[in-house]
Amino acid sequence: MLIMTNDCSAASRISKVLPHLLDKQGLHTLSPSLLERDAYQAQLRSNPDQCSGIRFDVKWSNGNHKTKTGSLLKVQVELQTSASIKPIVLSQSIKLNRSGGWDSLKLDNENYKTIGKIIGWRVLLLEDGKVLAERRSFLWQTEKTSKKSEKPSPD
C-alpha cells in the first residue's frame, strides 16, 4: 500500500525543460508533429548557420506553496558556455495568480551568436531570490565547494 503525504505533493517543482533551437524565422518546428519537431531540431543542430537563437520552454508548478503578497516569483535559466566563465542568466517574472504552467525564455540574434557553445544549463524557480525548485542538464558543472544534501534531478 502506498500512502502519499502532503509534504510530497506540496513541493514546488520544475517538471520539464525543453531547449529548442530556433531557425531564422524564429520557429523550432515546421509542423505540430513531435516527430517533425525532433527531426527539425536535429537538422538545426547539424547546421548551426541556420539557427538564430534558442528558447527554453519550462513547465513548473508551485505545488501547495503559498506565495506571499508582494513577492516576486520568477523563472531563471543559467547557461554555461564555451565563451564565458560566468553563467549567462535569463530570467522572467511570473504573474502571482498562477500556480504553474509553461513559460518560455529566449536568447536570440546577436546575443545567441556571441555566447559560444552551450555546455550545460540550469533552471530555477525563485521567490524573492530564494530557490523553490531546480532542474539542470546532465552536463551542468557545480562548484566543488558547495555541498548539498539533496541534489536536483538532472535531465
**Residue 153 domain flag:** no
Higher pLDDT, 112 or 153: 112
As for how many domains the chain has, the answer is 1
Question: Is residue 11 a part of any domain in this protein?
Answer: yes
Could you give the C-alpha distances from 24 to 31, 47, 53, 63, 124, in angstroms and in order? 16, 12, 8, 37, 28
Mean pLDDT of 12-29: 95
Q: Which pLDDT does position 58 carry in this prediction? A: 96
Type of residue numbered 121: W
pLDDT at 2 over 60: no
Is 155 a domain residue?
no
Look at residue 26 and tell me if it is in a domain.
yes
**Residue 147 resides in a domain:** no
CA-CA-CA-CA dihedral for 3, 6, 10, 14, to nearest 10:
-10
pLDDT at 94 over 70: yes
Establish if 110 belongs to a structural domain: yes
Separation between Cα atoms, residue 97 and residue 2, nearest integer Å = 32
The pLDDT score that the predictor gives to residue 71 is 77
* CATH number of domain containing 18: 2.60.40
Q: Is residue 144 part of a domain?
A: no
Give residue 86's identity as a one-letter amino acid code. Answer: K
- Whether 92 maps to a domain, the answer reads yes
**Residues 117-143 pLDDT 10s:** 999 999 999 999 999 999 999 999 886
In this structure, what C-alpha cell is assigned to residue 110?
546577436
Q: Residue 70: which domain range?
A: 6-136
User: pTM (2 decimals)?
Assistant: 0.81
Per-residue model confidence (pLDDT) at position 150? 59
Between 11 and 68, the more confident residue is: 11
Cell of 84: 564565458
Those residues whose C-beta lies under 8 Å from the C-beta of residue 5, and which sit 6 or more positions away, are none
| Start-to-end CA span in the chain (Å) | 29
DSSP string covering 84-133: -SSPEEEEEEE-TT-SEEEEEEEEEHHHHHHS--EEEEEEEEEETTEEEE
Q: What is the pLDDT of residues 33-77, one digit of tens each?
A: 999 999 999 999 999 999 999 999 999 998 776 767 667 889 999
pLDDT score recorded for residue 64: 72
